[in-house]
Structure 1
Amino acid sequence: MTTPRIRVPSSVKAGEPFEIRTLIDHPMETGLRQHTGQTVPRRMIARFEAHADGEPLFAADFRNGTSANPYVAFIARFAKTTTVTFLWREEDGREHRASQRVTVT
């Protein structure tokens, strides 16, 4: 089971920078590893995106060198209460989503 975890403050001050942290439990198999004589099928996350109320906030493309359970952290600042949506897209088209509302005071 692929489980996204996110850590975003529930409230922040308007215009003040804060850190957003994400981690997804994912094997990130490259298709090169052998297990009991069989090749483990490739299963990789290709792209991570974060959107603030539908507007792009942050994006990253992953490659073969990305470790299992990728961790991403970045800085954001908001002027108003915002819903942040996170998307992890696998190479085969599977998607994993999570969202968090950030109250701006």
Structure 2
Amino acid sequence: MKIPKLTKTDIIAVAALVIFVVIMAMPIYFPATDCEVARPGYECETAKNVMIEHCEYWGEFECDTSADNSLPQVEWYLENLCDIAKTHESLDCANLKLACNQVSGKQICPGV
């Protein structure tokens, strides 16, 4: 079996395919800066900002997870956000109330 010789059109098609693959792979290897958390609509946000928002919501209930049915989910999400945010901030993720106070720079959760 003989391999056919590549024509000029074949070479152009292969080059175009390689360029297409490289362009499509760029976001994987060069992620957007400060895009740690994806928001609806593919908006990027830092983990710190999203964590502050969730801490403020949690703080409306004095950081008492049993005060509302949605708060266990908020606490779970805060744990995951804390793991992401602690790469930039020195947060104590073992104590989420303290971590909320640290990341926000204010007393959101009382009694810490």
**Shorter-chain TM-score category?**
under 0.3
Larger radius of gyration: 2
TM-score norm. by structure 1 comes to 0.26
Q: Which has the higher helix share?
A: 2
Whose RCO is larger (CA < 8 A, sep 6+)? Answer: 1
TM-score norm. by structure 2 comes to 0.24
